[in-house]
Each structure stands twice: as structure tokens, then as C-alpha cells.
Amino acid sequence: EPEEPREQLPESISGTVARIARQPAGEFVVTLENGQVWTQLQVDPRARVAVGDTVVIKKAALGSHLLVTASRYATRVRRVK
């Protein structure tokens, strides 16, 4: 029998930041205009995002993801919602 096709997810998505929050330890939580919510895995002050910025979420190794900021700095993130 042929294998069931897996849902093909894009290698990257682009979105506009609609809201930003902070975790108690300082990691940012970004809500995109499409409703997706991503949280930074480790505080990195070089990764700056602001409401209205266009960011790119890219697939990385071992099922992880990178958020690339408007200034082209990448930080590891995890999808929350």
C-alpha cells in the first residue's frame, strides 16, 4: 500500500507582528497577524522585534524553528498556538 501523504508545511512563513509580550525570564512572545503565537526559547538581546515588523519563521534542524527579525537576526523559537 502506498504511504499516506504527509501534510506539506512550507519551509518558511512570513508574517507581520501584531503583538509582543514577555515571559518572566525575558523571552519574547510574538503574535503574528495570522494568529500564530511563537515564543523565544532563550533570551537574546540582539533579537529585537516590534509591532508592525515583518518577520520570517524558518524551519531549522531537528524540527526546530528560527525567527528572523527585520534586521536579519535569527533566534530560536517554538510555536505556542
Q: Which residues of 18-50 are buried (b: 16+ CB within 10 A; e: fewer)?
A: eeeeeeeeebbbbbbeeeebbbbeeeeeebebe
* pLDDT at res. 68: 97
Q: What's the whole-model pTM score?
A: 0.85
pLDDT above 80 (res 2): no
Determine the average pLDDT of the residues in 40-50.
95
Determine the average pLDDT of the residues in 27-50.
96
pLDDT above 80 (res 66): yes
* pLDDT at res. 10: 75
